[in-house]
Structure 1
Amino acid sequence: MSISKGVALITGSAQGIGRSIALRLARDGFNVALNDLPDKDAKLELVATEIESLGRQVCIVPADVSVNKQVKEMVDDAVTKLGGLDVMVANAGVVTPASLVSSTVESWDHTFSVNARGPYLCYKYAAMRMIEQGRGGRIIGASSIAGKIGFPHNSSYTASKFAIRGLTQAAAIELGQYGITVNSYAPGAIQTPMTKNMMDESGNVDFTRLIDDPCSRKWMMSLRENVPIKHNGQPEDIASIVSYLASKEAHFITGQCVG
């Protein structure tokens, strides 16, 4: 086994982007703590087996990222099992498309509890450990293209991803003195289990399938047609961005939202 580059914890790593990030960081030389909801344990075990085959140490730390106590225990468990924490990737997220007028308070609160409170808790407890360790670190959160441009029929998701940009910038200013960088990534449409109901018959991501309002559909079609790179985004594309942000080479980049 080669010398480890450190320990990385990735939330929402049972599938999709989180799984790809976990595997990429393992290939980069990190030992990995895998997180997802407790009912995803079987999928996490499969990811853990893949990481072990790469010669890296791995542990599973299930938790609901919206619950304060569980996030603290998740971070503590990762540190205990793997010997520290150098990279936190707050990747877990949910989306429940609905128009503003048809959306519910319950849906809004659930989206924010996972997409905004979750990263806040991950940033907080990871930072506490990294400060205590005294060797710096990398904190990386999941924003979205919807965190830069308002998307119709997606107000709660859009607002929660804008929140990640603000959280990231504020945390970057606070934590820079400790050698901790804080950045986020902002994917467009990526082929994952979360977006499978947005695919057309050819497998292309098509958010217009979720939008009944003609004006919103026209706006979304224009946005989609002006995407500069004309291929479906893959989880591995995002993993490569996270790989760089987690690397030593990115030590002078902080407070950014890449995407």
Structure 2
Amino acid sequence: MGSKNKVAIVTASDSGIGKQCALVLAKQGFDIGITWHSDEEGAKKAASEVEALGRRAEIIQLDLGHLPEGAEAISTLIERFGRLDVLVNNAGAMSKAPFLEVEFKDWRSIFTVDVDGAFLCSQIAARKMVEQGEGGRIVNITSVHEHTPLPEASAYTAAKHALGGLTKSMAVELVDHHILVNSVAPGAIATPMNNMEEDEVQEGSMPNIPLTRAGKTQEIASLVGWLCSADATYTTGQSFIVDGGFMLSNPQVKAQ
């Protein structure tokens, strides 16, 4: 991790948690690869904010719904920068439906993006890190539902559990190359995907959660930043839950 021009790629960094991770890593000295799926303007704005911090930014469209071709955008970014030190797998998809009504095509579409996409992006990234011989970091943004179910979202719950398992397998297999792999499992975070703005984060607004509020993207990104720092050299294969205490009670699941 001692390169002068460290490079981090953060998928889906056009907004929300991904964008905040990009900015935190830029502040730590990383040049940033920014990917977007449908919000090119958001990616350009994120890139300008990275550049305002004195770091280089490159943007590219990443479509993990069409694999394996879609993941090659990661290879393109690596070629532009010439190296890679960190990958943050933040891109994901979610849909809800009662288990008895889930259609297989919808089940597969969630797994394609959330599991297959993360697998392919990580494989491309890890191969470059191994080639460089300087180690690296991979952080998978999962969800609190890596650990506990989300009602009427069996595909999403299963996919996030799968990504948690992939994280552990990668950690064990890549440790000899000094590549550390962890996951961060957010609870309810104020993001566009959750139809919440950060200025709406107020104590008491979510009384079923012990901290009674949604989380802020910085509260996730700061942990990602630590995992990619020189202070996190003894941590791999772990899942860090950041959920305001949600897991203590999981108010979404009620006894039948």
- Show CA shifts across 1:134-157 (max 9, x none): 000001111111110112111111
Q: Which amino acid aligns with 1:238?
A: I
Q: Which amino acid aligns with 1:34?
A: I
Q: Is 1:182 equivalent to 2:181 in the alignment? A: yes
The answer for the alignment partner of 2:228 in structure 1 is 246
Aligned-partner SS, 2:231: helix
Distance change >3 Å, CA 89–CA 116, structure 1 → 2:
same
Following superposition, the deviation at residue 5 of structure 1 comes to 5.7
Q: Is 1:68 equivalent to 2:50 in the alignment? A: no
2:25 and 2:201 mapped to 1: Cα distance? 28
1:188 and 1:115 mapped to 2: Cα distance? 17
1:60 and 1:176 mapped to 2: Cα distance? 29
1:33 and 1:56 mapped to 2: Cα distance? 11
Tell me if the contact between 1:57 and 1:82 (Cα under 8 Å) persists in the aligned partners: no
1:1-259 equivalence runs, <5 A: 4=4, 6-37=6-37, 39-66=38-65, 67-71=67-71, 73-196=72-195, 225=208, 227-259=209-241
Following superposition, the deviation at residue 203 of structure 1 comes to 6.6
The answer for the alignment partner of 1:211 in structure 2 is none
Tell me if the contact between 1:65 and 1:122 (Cα under 8 Å) persists in the aligned partners: no
Q: Which amino acid aligns with 1:53?
A: A
Range 247-256 or range 99-108, more displaced: 99-108
Q: Percent identity?
A: 37
1:178 and 1:251 mapped to 2: Cα distance? 13
Tell me if the contact between 1:95 and 1:111 (Cα under 8 Å) persists in the aligned partners: yes
Following superposition, the deviation at residue 182 of structure 1 comes to 0.5
Aligned-partner SS, 1:88: strand
The answer for the alignment partner of 1:207 in structure 2 is none
Q: Which amino acid aligns with 2:232?
A: A
Distance change >3 Å, CA 27–CA 203, structure 1 → 2:
closer
Following superposition, the deviation at residue 4 of structure 1 comes to 4.7
Aligned residues: 234
Q: Which amino acid aligns with 2:240?
A: V
2:109 and 2:4 mapped to 1: Cα distance? 37
Following superposition, the deviation at residue 80 of structure 1 comes to 2.1
1:125 and 1:59 mapped to 2: Cα distance? 18
Distance change >3 Å, CA 244–CA 5, structure 1 → 2:
farther
Tell me if the contact between 1:4 and 1:30 (Cα under 8 Å) persists in the aligned partners: no
2:75 and 2:193 mapped to 1: Cα distance? 29
Aligned-partner SS, 2:139: strand
1:55 and 1:91 mapped to 2: Cα distance? 23
2:101 and 2:194 mapped to 1: Cα distance? 21
Segments of structure 1 that go 5 or more residues without pairing to the other structure are 205-220
Q: Which amino acid aligns with 1:156?
A: A
Point out 4+ residue stretches in structure 1 off by more than 6 angstroms: none
1:182 and 1:256 mapped to 2: Cα distance? 8
Following superposition, the deviation at residue 40 of structure 1 comes to 2.1
Segments of structure 2 that go 5 or more residues without pairing to the other structure are 242-256
Aligned-partner SS, 1:141: strand
Q: Which amino acid aligns with 2:238?
A: Q
